[in-house]
Structure 1
Amino acid sequence: MCKRSSRSNFVLTDGSLRFYCFGPAKSPLEISANEHNSWHAHQRTPVLFNHHEPLVVDTQTIQNDDLNSIKSTPEAWKNKERVLILTPLRDASYYLARYFDLVSRLTYPHELIDLAFLISDTKDDTKAALVQELQRIQKGVRPFRSVKIVEKDFGLNESQDVEIRHSFAFQGPRRKAMGRARNYLLYSALKSDHSWVYWRDVDIVDSPERILEDLMSHNTDIIVPNIWFHRYDRDGHDIEGRFDYNSWQESEKGLALAAKLSKDTVLAEGYKEYDTGRKYMATMGNWRQDKDEEIELDGIGGVSILVKADVHRSGINFPAYPFENQAETEGFAKMAKRAGYKVIGLPNYVVWHIDTDEKPGNV
């Protein structure tokens, strides 16, 4: 067991190196345990720790979602941000062909878009019509990333006839049920990689193909366009009817009225029974003017809403109960503003809804 001296390496006069031996003067096979420990006490093997060595998760039952990487930016298409388009459906078979004609023309990259639908309390052939249209779209040249169909009934038995559906008496129960439907759809479809959620009603008849990019460019938490409809008089003149009275700015009169109502009352907007004095975005604007003009809103309608996904993840949903005397989309706006989020409307950016022939309240 001889080694070169670590204390001195003297060169002798004949040029050779001095060596010395240490350790017991016996064969390693004859060393006792105590002698072995004494012999090795001063020469332990070094142990290296690599604190940055990756830990490999090799089981499929453990998943990790890093929501820090999910951003909602004004140039979402460049950053490949994923969009979830949500549409609630009830007795909607008549509208689906036009709906998909418009959605298929969206210029936002279809490979970044997921579609999800909730079918509820339906008596017509909505599901079959939906599946037929989806197969046509998904087999085409620009299919969407994925499609999800959710079914859930909420016990609505009232007719979809416009006189009943938009009657004052039906507004409270209807808005509560619609709030539940939106929430069921949202929580069934929202995934960790979605940056934006776009709520789009099935009965839109015309909208810009760049609507997603246009709304995203404002980089705000919640944004809605103006909702009008086409109706032609006997001379063929388009009256450009105003449709959505749920997008409004609060008033002192409205606040005073709400203060007198029971907390369990849903304040239905646009009806003579509740004179709120609020300013309606539907009565503002002109689609021929600056489409990027913004106004702040306190209530919004549900025809076309773009939401940063983190707003929903933070718990801002569609109350199926009176929240500050509002429910569904108007309650959603109230809740969002209470939480500090910004709610914006574009009075000159118009999306065209089907004419429901209500008389006379929406012209």
Structure 2
Amino acid sequence: MFFGPPPIALLADMTSIPTPGIPRILHQTWHTFPVPIETGDTASWQRLNPRWQYQFWDDTALRDFMAGQFPQLLQVYDGYAHPVQRADLARYCLLKHFGGVYADVDTRCLQSLEPLAGDPRVILCEEPRDRQHHAHRRGLPALLFNGTMASPAGHPLWDAVIDHCLRMSSRTTGHVLETTGPLILSAAVAQWAQPDEIALHSSHLFAESDSDRCPPAERFGPFRDLCVSQHFWQGSWFRERPPHALKRAVTKLRKLRHRLRGRRPRLAALRARMDETLLHREIPADERFPKVTILIPVRNGASTLARNLDAILGLDYPKNRIQIVYGEGDSSDETPEILKGLIARHAATFAGMRRLETRRNAPHFPHARRWRPAFQAKRRAGLARARNELVRQVLADDSDWILWMDADVIGLPSDLLTALLAVREKIVTPDCVLEPDGPSYDLNAFLDIGEPGEVEYMRHVRGGIFQPPVNYWARRHLDDLRYLDRVPLNGVGGTVLLVRADLHRAGLLFPETPYRDLLETEGLGQLARDLGIVPVGLPSVQVLHDRQ
């Protein structure tokens, strides 16, 4: 048994340890050795597992290990803003290289690890029930605990987990939970194609607290009768302070002003106007190459229309199943003439290609200032009117799907339509970026991951609609969620947006007055969700937007 940071010679010896199944190696990490007694009970692990090689890794030894065995990850490892992110990445690497059991120091071992020795599977457990909402909000089945894990050496699952960390490596200052922590592990496991290689358990196995604050509703997993360890749960992901009296008073005034702006449509009234049967009609199981109408609202799109059409021509979807409809109005450049030429040259390539005239009936804002919060309510209401006018004019067609697309989208993956349709959901959107793997450009596509208090919420209601800052803590955009293949959304963007045509025919249109303080595409996404139709985002499918 070894106590303290491992010498380099011992590291070399460990690489040659035969490891059928889970080897008898126990890893713990902390900044320095010894660990402060109030932090955790490291002695319990050594006392109850005398046959196990105990490996303690301080910061220096851990970095030496990463430099020696995973040099390709060292730049990412060193670049993390938080020490716990380095500890997370390193624990996955330790289990990949050596195998064994990894346990956080803020734990106590309750019984021997011997029942786990030699097991060929990765052994994991869920976090307690009161933390599962972090996973469920993102569409994951469960939030898994990465504070204690067991694995054979060399298991390929850890390659997938490490790859997920790399996908999120640009978020060096992001929240640990979704850059290296439990959400990363949970996503990799949910996407793993060989579930028999992973033994999942309720939180009883590794993650029960010393106060038993939230025991699982029912124990499950191959080791349902085993309770190996307790976790002390010394940290907290979110801390909120109650607002003081002045902020509460200001909030009351903001709410009053908000109410005076006019009545807002309620869900029941909107639902009563819709055809519920059409709204919830299932997508046919045998639907192959359905008819798609690409709707392109455009005003002053002269600089990008040709490149936009080139991107559409590059789709590998049968062109005789696509029609393109441009909704053009209020242009002051050569857009009408360019559209006329494009239609003349390419109409025969598609099932149809035409221009419809639409009027936005909204004030024009200077291009450089159109994003200002003061302009958004009028601007987005005008966009909603233009979209609704356009879609009403094509609903008589027999299209199965509507693909909304902005005229300044200039890059599409060739399999875009195939990828969106394969999701088999009624509202689907890819991530719109200015450069491959860059930040999301279309910030109207978002997931709400938290619920702000009234004071905080009203602070961000401007011009009658909710306009939080870009990096708002309770909201995630698609570039924040690239560890997921697909994710449920609250708001959707319109740069590229696939909508089942039945939804529009049923009466689901873009809110022209705020619905739950959201307009246009954002409002459509939230309204659809409230009607039981959850929009889906695909963070790994990217389309390119012009930089102008």
Provide TM-score, normalisation by structure 1.
0.67
| 2:317 is equivalent to residue 108 of structure 1 | yes
Question: How far apart, in 2, do the equivalents of 1:104 and 1:169 lie?
Answer: 38
Summarize the alignment of residues 10-21 of structure 1 with structure 2, pairs less than 5 Å apart: none
Tell me which residue corresponds to 1:148: 354
- Pairing 1:78-93 to 2, within 5 Å after superposition: 78=288, 80-93=289-302
Q: Which amino acid aligns with 1:245?
A: L
* Contact kept? 1:246, 1:269, Cα under 8 Å: no
The question of whether the paired residues in 1 share the 8 Å contact of 2:427 and 2:497 is answered with yes
Is residue 158 of structure 1 aligned with residue 360 of structure 2? no
Q: Which structure shows the higher helix fraction?
A: 2
**Higher mean C-alpha deviation, range 244-253 or range 81-90:** 244-253
Aligned-residue offset at 1:89: 0.3
Cα pair 1:248 1:279 within 8 Å, conserved: yes
1:308: which partner in 2?
500
Query: 1:74 touches 1:219 (CA, 8 Å); kept in 2?
Result: no
Q: Which SS does the other structure have where 1:86 is aligned?
A: strand
How far the C-alpha of 1:153 sits from its partner, in A, is 2.2
Of 339, 344, 355 in structure 2, the residue corresponding to residue 130 of structure 1 is 339
* SS of residue in 2 equivalent to 1:352: strand
**Which residue number corresponds to residue 282 of structure 1?**
479
Q: CA deviation at 1:73?
A: 4.5
Q: 1:355 to 1:269 in 2, by over 3 A?
A: farther
- 2:479 alignment partner AA: A
Q: CA deviation at 1:315?
A: 1.4
1:259-282 deviations in whole A, cap 9, x for unaligned?
67879812235458xx56311223
Give me the whole-angstrom Cα distance separating, in 2, the residues matched to 1:83 and 1:354: 24
- Post-superposition Cα deviations, 1:13-46, rounded to whole Å, max 9, x if no partner, equal xxxxxxxxxxxxxxxxxxxxxxxxxxxxxxxxxx
Corresponding residue for residue 541 of structure 2: 349
Is the deviation greater in 242-251 or in 329-338? 242-251
Equivalent residue in structure 1 for 2:402, among 178, 197, 209: 197
Q: Distance in 1 between matches of 2:405 and 2:440?
A: 18
2:114 counterpart residue number: none
Rounded to whole Å, the distance in 1 between the matches of 2:285 and 2:468 is: 32
Please tell me the residue identity of whatever aligns with 2:442.
D
- Identity of aligned pairs, percent? 26
The structure 2 residue matched to 1:225, chosen from 430, 439, 459, is: 430
Q: Distance in 1 between matches of 2:437 and 2:499?
A: 31
Say which of 297, 306, 312 aligns to 1:97.
Answer: 306
Q: Which residue of 2 aligns with 1:252?
A: 450
1:87 positional shift: 0.7
**Which of residues 467, 470, 473 in structure 2 aligns to 1:268?**
467
Distance (Å, rounded) in 1 between the aligned partners of 2:431 and 2:506: 26
**Larger Rg belongs to:** 1
Say if 1:154 and 1:239 are closer, same or farther in 2 by CA, change over 3 A.
closer
Distance in 2 between the 1:129 and 1:261 partners?
A: 41
| Alignment correspondent of 1:44 | none
Helix, strand or coil: the match of 1:345? strand
**Match for 1:240: what amino acid?**
G
Shift of 1:174: 0.8
Q: Are the structure 2 counterparts of residues 221 and 338 from structure 1 closer, same or farther at C-alpha, using a change threshold of 3 Å?
A: same
Corresponding position of 2:61? none
Instruction: Show CA shifts across 1:123-168 (max 9, x none).
Output: 11111111111111125xxx1111232212233342452x212222
**Contact in 2 for aligned 1:84/1:196 (Cα 8 Å):** yes
Q: CA deviation at 1:205?
A: 2.1
AA matched with 1:155 = N
Worse overlay, 105-114 or 319-328: 105-114
How far the C-alpha of 1:72 sits from its partner, in A, is: 3.9
Amino acid at match of 1:299: G
Query: SS at the partner of 1:169?
Result: helix
Task: Report how far residue 74 of structure 1 moved.
Answer: 6.8
Structure 1: give runs of 5+ residues left out of the alignment.
1-66, 231-237, 357-363
After superposition, give the CA deviation of every residue in 1:189-243 in whole Å (9 maximum; x if it has no partner): 123521111111111121111211111011001011111112xxxxxxx882431
- Give, in whole Å, the separation in 2 of the partners of 1:304 and 1:329: 11
AA of the residue aligned to 1:117: Y
Any runs of at least 4 consecutive aligned residues in structure 1 with deviations exceeding 6 A, and if so which? 259-264
Q: How far apart in 2 are the matches of 1:149 and 1:86?
A: 10
CA distance in 1, matches of 2:496, 2:538: 11
Q: Distance in 1 between matches of 2:408 and 2:469?
A: 20
Helix, strand or coil at the partner of 2:509: coil
| Cα distance, 1:168–1:110 mapped onto 2, change above 3 Å | same
Contact 2:444-2:491 within 8 A present in 1 as well: yes
1:350 deviation in Å? 1.1
Q: Is the 8 A contact 1:319 1:332 kept in 2?
A: yes
Which residue of 2 is the match for residue 243 of structure 1?
Answer: 441
Question: Which amino acid in structure 1 is aligned with residue 424 of structure 2?
Answer: N
Q: Deviations over 1:237-256 (max 9, x none)?
A: x8824312111111434574
Q: Which blocks of at least 5 consecutive residues in structure 2 are unaligned?
A: 1-277
Q: Which residue of 1 aligns with 2:529?
A: 337
Match of 1:116, SS state, is strand
For 2:468 and 2:338, locate their aligned partners in 1 and report how far apart those are by CA, in whole Å: 33
Residue 258 of structure 1 contacts residue 325 of structure 1 at CA under 8 Å; is this kept in 2?
no
2:511 alignment partner AA: P
RMSD: 2.7
> Once the 2 structures are TM-superposed, how far is the Cα of residue 301 of structure 1 from its aligned partner?
0.9
CA contact (8 A) 2:373 2:462 kept: no
Contact 2:486/2:536 (<8 A) preserved: yes
> Deviation at 1:305?
0.6
Amino acid at match of 1:284: L
Q: Please say if 1:215 is aligned against 2:428.
A: no
